[in-house]
Structure 1
Amino acid sequence: MGDRFGLYQLLLTLVIFVPFERLFAARPQKIFRRGLLTDLAFLFLNGWLVVAGQIVIVTVAILVNQSILPSAVKQAIDDLPYWVQVPLVIVIGDLGIYWAHRILHVVPTMWHIHAVHHAVEELDWLAAVHAHPLDTMFLKAGSLFPLFALGFSTEAIGTYFLVYYWQSYLVHANVRLNYGPLRYVLVSPEFHHWHHSSETEARDKNFAAIFSFYDLLFGSLHLSKGRKPKTFGVDNPMPTSYLALLAYPFVIWASKHKRDDPSAPVVLSEVTANVRESAKGLQ
């Protein structure tokens, strides 16, 4: 039943976003763009890895809730009606996403995981799934752990999941939407497209997933009035196949370890060569 529901959800997403991008395209772009097959691999193959990580995250969070959280706090949250819990869950969840996302950018070791997501050079709705499983798990930990640890209801958290699901596809979609004055409150496609831009001025900006005011509050907001981002991606060469992208952070980490070892120095060109060789072998 769950697999069937997931398939129906995917088909509905496809039916909505493909014509949406045709009607309101931000940039000329083909439906069968470069990297489409790799994104489909991420879509269909990442799921079980992420679910396994999610089970661990939720289990630990529930243990924290049961063994550490004061009973008065648990009772206060449990007494909140659904319609109060939902906005609280979305606000708290997105704050967790903001900081987890920012860590993925500013901590070099974590960036090698997140770079897989930023490797997309032709942005559309399906780019939302182009992410390393470790990346997705870390972001889920940022949002899910505090929500389950605090003891919010599964119904409220499930509603947040649904909002986040559609929001992820929308903000990556190749559509020209900026929300006007509300762009400083809510994350729009324009807002997130700047996050993916390879232009220097936009780097390490716009981390929030739903509420852009978090970036305004923490000094990481970038919205260039009257301009749209023109190029996407990262500076260094990236693999293009699914398996090679899964291996990418591990290849980089291994190469850096060898480079830091005086008995086995490795220069930057060798790191790039290792990544390319790994990509060839896994394609």
Structure 2
Amino acid sequence: MNWLEHFISPWFFLFEADKRIYWLYLLTSGLVALFISGKQLFSVKLWFNQSSLVDVCWLFINQWIFKFLVVPLLALQVSYALSINNFLNTLFGTGNYWEINQSLLVVFFTFSLFIGQDFGKFLVHFSFHKIRFLWRFHAVHHSATTMTPLTLYRIHPVEMLINSLRSLFIGAMMSGLFIYLFKNPLGISQILGVNLFVFIFNIAASNLRHSPVWLGFAKCEYLFISPAQHQIHHSAATQHFDKNFGSALAIWDYSFNSLLLSEGQSVNAFGIDKKAIDRQTFKQQWWGIKS
């Protein structure tokens, strides 16, 4: 890949449905933002400042790391799934216990994978906050003092690698289990394709999670993490620390006593501490942030 291809590759995220900044997800979030807060999401000061510039730097730099380190790992998911199926056959004997309607199987697999990945995201995210060595890398994401949809890509390579391994492990485990249990064939497109439930999550204004637009889900926040709840998670206020670790589902936070509803709450500033505003250079963040 030459420098020009590297420069333009992130722009193709706008046309890839598995990316959070897919054009349709941005469109729905933008329309909701206009309805709720007018032009707040489209402020020039929001998109052009030191913190937002660091977001963009991480986005472009991580593309190299993702393509050369992460993609080869994720490509092994089908192979690992087949290995898990073989392991289960050796351990418990030949599987293929049930055969059900193919469409029903796809829905069941998609839903199960979504639940498994969502719980995995919660556990890894929880660990990033609770294990001091991991926090220094996750703190890069939390060091953002302004939030835009591109803040999603403000992640340290160590965090990106761990999240990719989590996705690979859960995806392979779930796929291998379904291949073992059901007679129906599970295609590569179903194993590696865009998850329907993730698509629904992304189209439901998920890009407002990293934004100043306050959107709560009222009592539904006991089930689903709203954009406002994720903004609470990024709040610089100490009373909001270690709250709302969940990605899509709130049931994990409820179970771990870390759920905080958005009703009655407000966020006045984002970041990890008062020094966050002085840590807005890529050089300062490369080795992680001690706080």
TM-score range for the pair, normalised by the shorter chain length: 0.7 to 0.9
Higher RCO (CA 8 Å, separation ≥ 6 residues) = 2
TM-score for both structures, normalised by structure 1 = 0.73
**Which letter maps to 2:143?**
A
Indicate the residue corresponding to 2:226 in structure 1: 188
Distance 1:129 1:226 in 2: 29
Equivalent pair of 1:183/1:212 in contact (CA under 8 Å): yes
Cα distance in 2, alignment partners of residues 70 and 120 from structure 1: 45
Q: d(CA) in 1 for partners of 2:173 and 2:75?
A: 9
Q: Which residue is equivalent to 1:278? A: none
Q: Which amino acid aligns with 1:93?
A: Q
| 1:193-227 deviation digits (Å, cap 9, x = unpaired) | 11111211221121110101110012221225322
Q: Give the TM-score normalised by structure 2.
A: 0.72
Decide whether the 8 Å contact of 2:233 with 2:243 is kept in 1. yes
Structure 1 spans left out of the alignment, 5+ residues: 253-271, 273-283
What is the 5 A alignment of 1:87-166? 87-151=111-175, 154-155=189-190, 157-160=192-195, 162=199
| Corresponding residue of 1:227 | 265
In the other structure, the counterpart of 1:46 is 62
The total of aligned residue pairs comes to: 251
Q: CA deviation at 1:88?
A: 0.8
Aligned equivalent of 2:279: 239
Answer yes or no: is the 8 Å Cα contact 1:39–1:127 preserved in 2: yes
**Contact 1:239-1:248 within 8 A present in 2 as well:** no
> Deviation digits for residues 40-87 of structure 1, max 9, x if unmatched?
222333123124443354356555434444036974699771111111
Aligned to 1:248: 287
CA pair 61-159 structure 1, distance change in 2 beyond 3 A: closer
The aligned counterpart of 2:5 is none
Gaps of 5+ in 2: 1-7, 179-185
What is aligned with 2:182?
none
Partner SS, residue 226 of structure 1: coil
Q: What's the RMSD between the two structures over aligned residues?
A: 3.5
Contact 2:74/2:164, CA 8 A, preserved across alignment: no
Distance change in 2, residues 1:73/1:91 (3 Å): farther
Going from structure 1 to structure 2, the CA distance change for 1:18 and 1:44 (only over 3 Å counts) comes to farther
Distance of 1:24 and 1:73 partners within structure 2: 55
The residue identity in structure 2 corresponding to 1:239 is R
CA contact (8 A) 1:192 1:206 kept: yes
Question: Identity of aligned pairs, percent?
Answer: 23
Q: Does residue 1:70 correspond to 2:88, yes or no?
A: yes
Cα distance in 2 for partners of 1:26, 1:213 equals: 32
CA contact (8 A) 1:99 1:142 kept: no
